[in-house]
Amino acid sequence: MKAVAAVMMLVACGGCSTVKAPLAAHAAIPVEVWTGGDDGLTQRLADAVRDEFSQSARFVLAPASTPNAFRVSIPTHAGRSEVSGRTRVTYDILFETAEHRLDERSGSCWDDDLRECARMVVKQATVAVSR
């Protein structure tokens, strides 16, 4: 409930100085997950990332175009390669605010365990907002 109230306050205040820095240490950080790839694999990865953020106490999923939201972007299609009969997924990820890019990372996991990638993205996001 507090997270929903924080997002509503963020949307209502827009550029208010009290909400200007959504990366505060104690408040849940509003986050949007964007994708540049429209294929099924990239969308499944994005869904896993959203699910992981929704379970995090540090972040709260924000409605699209929320002012001052922290953006996590999968800018291109996720890659795939066959390894011993399994599909290995690779991805690039950007961590940004409206003002600037905070970090850029890449990672990989198995297609049948996209949650592994999602957990890594949330860990990397936590580091990016702490800098």
Instruction: Give the C-alpha separation, 108 to 13, whole Å.
Output: 38
The amino acid that residue 108 corresponds to is: S
- The number of distinct structural domains making up the chain is 1
The pLDDT value given to residue 15: 42
Q: What does the alpha-carbon distance between residue 107 and residue 91 come to, in Å, rounded to a whole number? A: 6
Mean pLDDT score across all residues of the chain: 85
Q: What is the pLDDT of residue 65?
A: 84
Instruction: Judge whether 16 lies within some domain.
Output: no
Q: Which domain holds residue 86?
A: 2-6+27-130
Contact between 36 and 75 (Cβ < 8 Å): yes
For the residues 79-87, what does the mean pLDDT come to? 96
Q: What is the CATH number of the domain that holds 126?
A: 3.40.50.10070
Residue 96, domain member (yes or no) = yes
Q: Does a structural domain hold residue 43?
A: yes
Is 69 inside any structural domain?
Answer: yes
14 in a structural domain: no
Contact 23, 29 (CB under 8 A): yes
Give the global pTM: 0.78
Terminal CA-CA length for the chain:
27
Q: Is residue 76 part of a domain?
A: yes
Q: Residue 26 pLDDT > 90, yes or no? A: no
Residues 92-117 have pLDDT tens digits of 999 999 889 999 999 999 999 999 99
Question: Does 11 map to a domain?
Answer: no
H-type helices in 14-113, by residue range? Answer: 40-54
pLDDT at 64: 84
